[in-house]
A = this chain, B = another copy of it.
């Protein structure tokens, strides 16, 4: 059996509770005994049993994450590891660990979450995919269990702490960027309308067009899977239109990559014939041909702020509900045509 607090206590000639206090770094312990106890711990190579500690103290110093179900396309997208990296860094700084489960079906996922929450395995949860009518979220809400959402909740916005970008504005700016470059036929390639991020971006797109008095055409608005395949299909539809768009806003770099490669196969030149602005600015947007002009949404920060604010909430239950907006930035590369003025200079 492993070395316990009692062994340490015996060796240091103190009571177990004193050892416990030393671990917790209680202020009302004399420096001397602290030293003694620490020496004893070293000597025995003592490490606290975290299960026992969690059981007694009702806290785990662990954050739970609902991963996209294995097999989910989300895994393929660089978004996931990056946001995880951010979460992980925020947790590490506060000495929290990460605990994750997957479920294939929504039912399984819910069960896994219930287990880890009711089973007291974690002190709080970070949710990644804010679906409309999310069972996991309503469970957490009902249980009054600390959680934060990355993305935007579909309802009860004011009552759910979440970390998000201003996707409406971001997409408006992306679209305006194209409008400034003289484009009027701008198509939108987004993900599923079940996702709030798509809803917001579509809205931003429409706002930009309206502000510029450009009519909104339904055949220019496409919804595809957040994956490269989506990009290909979308392009095929768009180029067969009689009024072919001269530019595209694409909701994800990965999709944009599919778009680019399909356009290339069709012999359509970017940016000469079609301009493309995409989202996320993951590494590969720099390596594509041409390099993609992309909105950097600071994915890492999304995760980082999520774990920080979750930990705040865990450690202070009076912490108010918050909405944290992570700034975005348009990164210009070579996938868009130059504005008219420049051309004629």
Once the chains are docked, how many angstroms separate the CA of A48 from the CA of B115? 8
Please name all residues of chain B whose beta carbon is closer than 8 Å to the beta carbon of A119 when the two chains form the complex: 47-51, 53
Interface string of A257-286 (1 = CB under 8 A from B): 110110010000000000000000001101
Please name all residues of chain B whose beta carbon is closer than 8 Å to the beta carbon of A102 when the two chains form the complex: 88-89, 91-92
Interface residue range, chain A:
35 or more
The 8 Å CB contact of A100, one of B70, B71, B100, is B100
From 140 to 196 in chain A, residues with beta carbon under 8 angstroms from any chain B beta carbon are none
Interface of A is mostly: helix
Once the chains are docked, how many angstroms separate the CA of A51 from the CA of B84? 25
Interface string of A281-313 (1 = CB under 8 A from B): 001101101000000000000000000000000
Q: Is A11 an interface residue (CB 8 A)?
A: no
From 38 to 71 in chain A, residues with beta carbon under 8 angstroms from any chain B beta carbon are 47-55, 60, 62, 67, 70-71
- Given A55-B55, A67-B88, A102-B92, decide whether A228 and B47 contact each other with a Cβ distance below 8 A: no
Q: Is A330 an interface residue (CB 8 A)?
A: no
Once the chains are docked, how many angstroms separate the CA of A39 from the CA of B88? 40
Task: Give chain B nearest CB distance to A217 CB in angstroms.
Answer: 28
| CB nearest to A77 among chain B residues | B81
B99/A70 in contact, CB under 8 A: no
| 11 extra A-B contacts, CB within 8 A, seeds A50-B120, A75-B84 | A47-B119, A48-B119, A49-B55, A51-B51, A51-B121, A81-B84, A92-B103, A97-B121, A99-B99, A260-B287, A264-B289
Give 13 CB contacts A-B under 8 Å.
A47-B118, A50-B116, A50-B119, A50-B120, A75-B85, A88-B100, A88-B102, A92-B102, A92-B103, A92-B104, A97-B121, A99-B99, A228-B286
Query: Which positions in A face B, CB cutoff 8 Å?
Result: 2, 47-55, 60, 62, 67, 70-71, 75-76, 78, 80-82, 84-85, 88-89, 91-92, 97-104, 112, 114-116, 118-121, 228, 254, 257-258, 260-261, 264, 283-284, 286-287, 289
